[in-house]
Structure 1
């Protein structure tokens, strides 16, 4: 008799456990915030609204100015190397950023005759290795991203990888808890 009761209760416990486990996972997935992805039309509308603001007008004016065109051309020159994450040979031209910069640690470098700001998101030990660089040093850079802003007269490359004389000097640490 006891064996029969245990035989009936055991499947009941297993099935109810599965039901509650499935219920918990459904609750967890519904409680996660949905990614804020905009459709192409919504993104275009949002961009048009921003362009109508004073900041958007100022940015468009800068883009059409000779200084803005120079910066955008510099960013376009290296776009292919950035998308393929290939090596770019650079020569360090300055160990300091232009006055008024708020980019953190960075250096100025020339790639194929065009000046760029190399900005690094680095930890303290990594900064020490970067501080060993000197003006006119030839380095190899890899990056995925270039940006620009009206405040700066140079395109800004986010440094992911730097090597000098075939020795790794800097490699960006992946962000914790995300992409």
Structure 2
């Protein structure tokens, strides 16, 4: 069972943060051998990035990412979850969001005649502190049903240093 156009989903993000743009089939069908196109809509049709790519944010075809067709500004910042593809989930992750990323995005799977749109709102006064750096950890946890679940955890490097400092101080205190 597939969906055609759905209502526009609104997602907000702060500059410098990461954002997830959801897109998934109703079924858990394996999409590894399908084409998945994420495009940014509402762009001036005559405007393209420096390589001439008009609006292609992410292109996946036959188990590979086709970066030569993608807008240069997105190549190093976008990804799909490979395990999600096996379950009909082609959710796009954009790292280090910028104000220029704001706009409407389309997720299209041509072989399924499936399309969803997502509106990204980048809020310049978002919660994220401008000096905070984040690192990503991908943790695989076994599911009782035998599947693996991937969990993305974002941690602040400064918080990590604080925890390490407290731990070191505690050990020093115990020895003294």
Q: Which has the larger radius of gyration?
A: 1
Q: Which has the higher contact order (CA 8 A, sep 6+)?
A: 2
| TM-score normalized with structure 1 length | 0.24
TM-score normalized with structure 2 length: 0.24
Structure having the larger proportion of residues in helix: 1
